Amino acid sequence: MAVMIKVTDTIKSSEITPKDVYLNRRKFMQQTMAGSLLFASGAWLPAWAKQWPDLSVSTYSSHDKINSFKDITSYNNFYEFGTSKQDPARQAKSFNPRPWSIRVSGECDKTGDYDIDDFLKPVGLQEYIYRLRCVEGWSMVIPWVGFSLAEMLKGFQPNSKAKYVEFTTLLDKSHMPGQKRRVLHWPYVEGLRMDEALHPLPIMAVGLYGELLPNQNGAPIRLIVPWKYGFKSIKSIVKIRFTETQPETTWHMTNPREYGFYANVNPHVDHPRWSQKKERVIGESFWKPKRATQMFNGYAEQVAHLYTGMDLKKYF
């Protein structure tokens, strides 16, 4: 099984991204995102966002080469804005992720509606350099800005009946044109088993490359579960619900033969229509051979114990 390489959490993001590249990336963003509501004004930036230049890097981060900001923000799966990889960047420009609140319900003591700014005050933000592996056979390495999902969920005090946690995306057909098409069951729903959700690897991402999360990448807040295929990392979350039974999730409802509830990255379990043994790293030369897919996306050492005794071909 592949082992994830860790880096020290004292490394600053400025030491991973060269200064000239970092400044050029900021210039690129200012030029290409000038019309976006997300970056048009910094006046509303909350205090937690202003500290991002001093972010430390999580101990779980990868040493792999980071994809460019352009790759990360122009090649996306976000069906709420369209089914092609380029649709989200084009269609999400007018989407305004402010104000934003998240409704917490189900088997926990602290239910209610939480404004995103109040939601983030107690948490410690870090940069998490995680690989995102998609079921179509491509991958990227992305410097997310976020915080521990486990620590957030513990704050809601789930009770003994909470066996799963369910997440739901915003339903807004007027600003998310992809929801007008019946390509999926809307709104988008995903879920995790509680022990998966309370593992230290999953994060709630609120930014990338040291900036607020772009609309096409799931603004203003999304889930990242790095050992699972990308469709588990639900975007633009508005609901969190603790449940006693396994939630009905969108892709599993749409096509259970092809998309299982667990969706662990596993080169030994093929998608019915293609192999998962190899992957193409976005941004690399087309002529470069594909890389071998790693079990649990390279996090086997950290997460394999969660599935001891399970038939991972049956529970895919």
pLDDT band at 15 (very low <50, low <70, confident <90, very high): very low
Q: Minimal CA–CA distance to 298: which of 71, 139, 72?
A: 139
CA 114 – CA 120 distance, rounded (Å): 10
**Which residue ranges make up each domain of the chain?**
13-307
Q: Where are the alpha helices (DSSP H) in 113-270?
A: 116-120, 149-155, 194-197, 250-254
Residue predicted with more confidence, 50 or 291: 291
Tokens of 25: 């990336």
Q: What is the pLDDT of residue 2?
A: 37
Q: Minimal CA–CA distance to 198: which of 166, 229, 228, 153?
A: 153
Tokens of 86: 């380029």
**Spatial contact of 195 and 214, defined as CB atoms under 8 Å apart:** no
Summarised one tens digit per residue, pLDDT across range 39-87 is: 333 445 666 676 676 789 999 999 999 999 999 999 999 999 999 999 9
Summarised one tens digit per residue, pLDDT across range 238-280 is: 999 999 999 999 999 999 999 999 999 999 999 999 999 999 9
Question: With b meaning 16 or more CB within 10 Å and e meaning fewer, what string describes 33-49?
Answer: beebebbeeeeeeeebb
CATH topology of domain 13-307: Sulfite Oxidase; Chain A, domain 2 (3.90.420)
**Spatial contact of 69 and 209, defined as CB atoms under 8 Å apart:** yes
Residues 6+ apart with CB under 8 A from 287: none
Mean pLDDT of 114-141: 88
**Spatial contact of 32 and 89, defined as CB atoms under 8 Å apart:** no
**Average confidence score pLDDT of the chain:** 86
pLDDT of 13 strictly over 90:
no
**Spatial contact of 131 and 139, defined as CB atoms under 8 Å apart:** yes
Q: What is the pLDDT of residue 26?
A: 43
Residues 6+ apart with CB under 8 A from 236: 80, 97, 169, 170, 218, 219, 220, 221, 222
Strands 203-208 and 138-148, sheet pairing: antiparallel
pLDDT of 290 strictly over 60:
yes
Mean pLDDT of 271-295: 94
